[in-house]
Amino acid sequence: MSHGVLPNEVAEGTRGGMAPLAKRLHGLGVTANGVTVLGLLITLAGSALLAADRTLPAFAVLLVGTLSDTLDGALARVAGGGTRFGEFLDSTADRISDAAMAAAVVALGATRGDAVLLWGGLVGLVASFMVSYARAKAESLGVKATVGVGPREARLVLFLTGLGLSAVLGASWLFVAAVVAVALLSTLTLLQRVAHVARALR
């Protein structure tokens, strides 16, 4: 699977680093679905902090929520493979998380009076949902559509990097730039998937 602009070493290294923790949690009876729900709740809390313009605690909480999203997959693999419901739950939680973070960006943009941040959040929200929809619809037609420069994990890394640097350095423009970049990557990825499916279905 392509990780887009995110180096494969980073993505695979993060997943590999979760394996020992996943094994320990599995031994304690923790399930992948439980981590999925917990990760969603953490992300919702982080989004609320972001909407309230508390960027540093928002970054810390959202980082934990994002790592939980990686951990649930590792737990599923340790348990011998996830269930169909687990896959559905994980995908649904991802969409809710994405919507919460985008809504927080829009709210923050409105509070700050920053039109670029507000519209970047809106475009990113719509485009990211369309990226997921394009993949789901393509797969219902028998076409695998995971192509694109901005899959979800790459967009999350860019978003959190911008947020973290902005909070630590006190440079709000870094987060605005990250939000705009995420919106552009999402839009480009959508166009790439549409073109890919069009070629495949000819």
**Nearest in space to 172 (alpha carbons), one of 6, 44, 59:** 59
Inside any domain, residue 187? yes
Catalytic one of 69, 94, 98, 114: 94
Domain count, the chain: 1
- How far apart CA 39 and CA 202 sit, in angstroms, is 40
- 14 within domain boundaries: yes
More confident residue, 181 or 16: 181
- Is 98 an active-site residue? no
Taking the C-alpha atoms of residue 97 and residue 90, their distance in angstroms, rounded to an integer, is 10
CATH of the domain at 147: 1.20.120.1760
Q: Between 116 and 150, name the one with better pLDDT.
A: 116
Does the residue 21 lie in any domain? yes
Q: What is the C-alpha to C-alpha distance for residues 110 and 92, in angstroms, rounded to an integer?
A: 27
pLDDT class of 98 with cuts at 50, 70, 90: very high
Q: Are 46 and 71 in contact (CB under 8 A)?
A: no
Is 99 in contact with 40 (CB distance < 8 Å)?
no
Residue 145 has pLDDT above 80, yes or no: yes
For the chain, give the percent of residues with pLDDT over 70. 92
The helix/strand count (H/E) of the chain reads as 7, 0
Nearest Cα neighbor of 159 from 79, 59, 9 is 59
Residue 116 in domain: yes
What is the domain range of residue 125?
A: 8-200
Task: For residue 1, tell me if it sits in a domain.
Answer: no
Q: Phi-psi region for residue 114, left (φ > 0), alpha (ψ -120 to 50) or beta?
A: beta
Decide if pLDDT at 200 tops 70: yes
**pLDDT category, 162, cuts 50, 70, 90?**
very high
Whether residue 2 is contained in a domain is answered as no
Quick check: is 3 in a domain? no
Contacts of 158 (CB under 8 A, 6+ apart): 5, 178, 181, 182, 185
Reported as a single tens digit per residue, the pLDDT across 22-44 is: 888 878 888 888 989 999 999 99
